Amino acid sequence: MKEELFKIINKYFPNNDQDKNNWNYIINNSSSAPSILYLQSMVEYYVAYYTSNQSINLSFVFYDDRNPVGIMPLMIHKKSDHKWLISCNGAEIIEPIFIKLLAPKLKKKLENNLKDLIIDIAKHLNIHQFDFVNMNVFELSDWYLMWAGIADEVFSTHHKFVDLSLSLQEIYSGFRKSFRPLVNKGRREFNIQAYEKISDELFDSFKLLHEKAAGKITRPNESWNIQKSQIHKGEAFLITVGLKGGHMTGGGLFHYTNDLGFYSVGAYDREFSDEPLGHAVQMKAIEIFKKNNVKLYEIGRKFLKIEKKKPTGKELNISHFTDGFATQFMARQHLIVNF
């Protein structure tokens, strides 16, 4: 299966590979501010997450006359109905990113080739529907508008951010009023630590806490190993919270690129559900993002009851909590294309 799919990719992009250096070169020299979904390790994470669903990493760097000019995060996996889905993260297809100052004519040609490639893979796997998301919350990409011309449906999702150009005091002052004393209490009564390098023992403690809070093993071990390696690569960090002189009672895993940060995983001991653990963790994460000159922190999705796919009660509760830290809310546009 994998060989057949890469034959299709080679038909449209004879010069392609998954070279890590060139992949990172594109991210560091792109014309946009790429989200964490463009990290090569994030595609590997999602492939590992869906490994029991026959997931395959189809991501690649593409070239113009042997010069790397863009990347396309791409994977496939089988859904619960045993039908194939093509995406970058198990859900949606995002736009490719290109190096700065790429000639518009060449960019358009490459995007058209990518469009034909995706359609060809869809035919091969009997895929009949795509979900496209415009990752840039500030403007619609040419890629999105190209697919919009043949789309069957459009809808929005809403996302919350912290503007890290603000001072820490300005960000703190913008928290929900009831959160400010809780942040102070959490920092005063608990031990809050940030880890930009981490031992196996400490990371395993966080993993076990996550499993304890969830009441089960939620995903494959390899996906955790990838996240641990992301910390060592400088793509993520872990914030832990615990009793002073005691064991870990909570923590959060955060990812980031040069420009954008993201709240990825949270785990908290239910015995401390009345304590402001998460409040203190969020404040510490904001400090670390600012220290690393990250420009914008995406806390997560703002779920609404009126959405196309109805959110669960848990999603609404988490959304309400993280709303209290945001300095701004923005929307992403999605397209449904039936093929």
Q: What is the CATH number of the domain that holds 217?
A: 3.40.630.30
Q: Is the distance from CB of 203 to CB of 228 less than 8 angstroms?
A: yes
Question: Cβ of 114: how many Cβ atoms within 10 Å?
Answer: 22
Among 155, 130, 131, 79, which residue's Cα sits nearest to residue 308?
Answer: 155
35 Cβ partners below 8 Å, 6+ apart? Answer: 135, 257, 260, 262, 298
Examine residue 40 and state whether it is found in any structural domain, yes or no.
yes
Examine residue 151 and state whether it is found in any structural domain, yes or no.
no
Helix (H) or strand (E) holding 130: strand 129-133
Q: How far apart are CA 178 and CA 328, in angstroms?
A: 18
Same domain for 172 and 97, yes or no, is: no
What type of residue is 50? Y
What value does the CA radius of gyration of the chain take, rounded to a whole number of Å?
21
Examine residue 73 and state whether it is found in any structural domain, yes or no.
yes
Same domain for 80 and 164, yes or no, is: no
Same domain for 110 and 211, yes or no, is: no
CA 183 to chain CA mean position, Å: 26
Same domain for 123 and 196, yes or no, is: no
Examine residue 146 and state whether it is found in any structural domain, yes or no.
no
319: domain range? 160-333
Same domain for 25 and 124, yes or no, is: yes
Same domain for 68 and 205, yes or no, is: no
Same domain for 38 and 128, yes or no, is: yes
Q: Which two tokens stand for residue 268?
A: 């908290």
Q: Which two tokens stand for residue 330?
A: 């923005």
Phi first, then psi, for residue 141 (nearest 5°) are: -80, 160
Same domain for 79 and 174, yes or no, is: no
Q: Which two tokens stand for residue 126?
A: 């009997």
pLDDT at 302: 95
Examine residue 112 and state whether it is found in any structural domain, yes or no.
yes
Q: Is the distance from CB of 239 to CB of 251 less than 8 angstroms?
A: yes
Cα distances from 243 to residues 193, 205, 269, 277, in angstroms, run 11, 15, 12, 10
Same domain for 306 and 166, yes or no, is: yes
Same domain for 173 and 311, yes or no, is: yes
Examine residue 98 and state whether it is found in any structural domain, yes or no.
yes
The neighbouring-strand residues paired with 156 are: 333
Domain boundary among 84, 116, 134: 134
Domain containing residue 97: CATH number: 3.40.630
Same domain for 221 and 184, yes or no, is: yes
Domain boundary among 134, 169, 196: 134
Same domain for 166 and 300, yes or no, is: yes
Examine residue 66 and state whether it is found in any structural domain, yes or no.
yes
pLDDT at 41: 97
pLDDT tens, position by position, for the chain (339 residues)? Answer: 889 999 999 999 999 999 999 999 999 999 888 899 999 999 999 999 999 889 999 999 999 988 999 999 999 999 989 999 999 999 999 999 999 989 999 999 999 999 999 999 999 999 999 999 999 988 999 999 999 999 999 999 999 999 999 999 999 999 999 999 999 999 999 999 999 999 999 999 999 999 998 888 889 999 999 999 999 999 999 999 998 777 899 999 999 998 999 999 999 998 888 999 999 999 999 999 999 999 999 999 999 988 888 899 889 999 999 999 999 999 999 999 998
User: Would the CA dihedral through 175, 176, 181, 185 be positive or negative?
Assistant: negative
Examine residue 53 and state whether it is found in any structural domain, yes or no.
yes
DSSP state, 31? S
Cα 79–Cα 85–Cα 87 angle in degrees, nearest 5: 125
Domain total in the chain: 2
